[in-house]
């Protein structure tokens, strides 16, 4: 079924992150399992009818449109790989349209809420580390997967920027603002070595109490706790901080192309979704301030 070869292709040719590769692998194995349950053991014999049946099955068990789209994209990439290697001549997913996704309202924090959030950590070792994490997330807009993967060597304190490991074709350099830089320096010079204990060879920038790279689960738990402490209305997630970064940049005059570069979007349409929030803000300001609104 060439799964291991496919994963190696995703890593070497597509330069995907570990989490993305694992998601693709799970999705493809899910389709292979579905085919096996229908008596098809040779995946290269799959047809477009099989793909449609698979998508209907996903919908019938309650999978969201976004999940179905992701799984279809994974399976499509897998069959494209099989074509590339000469195992099949046609992609059975060709011509199959992805389900329409209902646009959710963009969740982001106001500047006042961000200020409350950034003021939450105390001056303990954990608090100083968490302060640096929160400041970096908001200052750079990087994804949680990128933050976790940042190593010490990826940070240039003198110039004030972080290099995000390549999850696409190339890495990107993201500048740090002064508050984030100050919080990060305090964590690095005063806290990190104490958290490392005897694990001095750890390369990760952000580590936990075991001196190991902080995990996704640990970061989500930390954000949830600080969101509650800051009195935020909604449960705090990394994506809400990323959205806040983008919206606040646009509200303060950033151009769309620069924001696209900062956020690492391959397609500018992914960046354009943040324009709706700024347009709503402009309308709110107009309605509140214009005498004949």
**Active-site residue numbers?**
242, 286
Neighbour-count burial of 49, counting CB atoms closer than 10 A to its CB (0-12 exposed, 13-18 middle, 19+ buried): exposed
Give the list of residues 6+ apart from residue 257 with CB closer than 8 angstroms, or none: 268
CA distance 89 to 175: 46
CA distance 181 to 217: 25
Residue 270: what are its φ and ψ, rounded to 5°?
Answer: -65, -30
- For residue 155, the SS3 value is strand
CA distance 244 to 114: 8
CA distance 16 to 8: 10
| Exposure of 7 in the CB half-sphere (CA atoms within 13 A) | 15
Q: Are the CB atoms for 157 and 210 separated by under 8 Å?
A: no
């Amino acid at each position: 079924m060439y799964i291991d070869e496919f994963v190696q292709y995703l890593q070497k040719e597509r330069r995907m992150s570990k989490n993305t590769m694992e998601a693709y692998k799970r999705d493809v194995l899910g389709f292979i399992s579905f085919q096996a349950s229908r008596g098809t053991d040779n995946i290269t014999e799959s047809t477009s009818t099989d793909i449609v049946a698979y998508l209907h099955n996903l919908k019938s068990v309650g999978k969201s449109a976004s999940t179905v789209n992701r799984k279809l994209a994974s399976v499509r990439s897998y069959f494209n790989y099989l074509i590339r290697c000469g195992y099949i001549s046609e992609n059975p997913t060709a011509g199959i349209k992805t389900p329409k996704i209902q646009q959710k309202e963009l969740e982001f924090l106001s500047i006042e809420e961000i200020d409350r959030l950034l003021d939450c950590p105390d001056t303990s070792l954990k608090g100083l580390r968490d302060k640096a994490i929160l400041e970096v997330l908001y200052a750079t807009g990087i994804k949680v997967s990128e933050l976790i993967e940042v190593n010490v060597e990826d940070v240039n304190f003198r110039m004030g920027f972080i290099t995000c490991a390549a999850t696409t074709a190339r890495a990107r350099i993201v500048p740090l603002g002064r508050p984030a830089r100050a919080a990060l320096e305090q964590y690095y010079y005063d806290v990190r070595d104490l958290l490392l204990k005897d694990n001095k060879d750890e390369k990760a920038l952000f580590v936990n109490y075991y001196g190991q790279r902080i995990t996704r689960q640990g970061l989500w738990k930390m954000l949830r706790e600080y969101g509650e402490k800051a009195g935020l209305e909604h449960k705090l997630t990394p994506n809400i901080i990323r959205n806040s970064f983008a919206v606040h940049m646009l509200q303060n005059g950033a151009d769309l192309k620069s924001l696209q570069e900062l956020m690492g979007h391959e397609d500018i349409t992914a960046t354009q979704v943040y324009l709706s929030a700024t347009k709503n803000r402009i309308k709110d300001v107009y309605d509140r301030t214009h005498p004949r609104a």
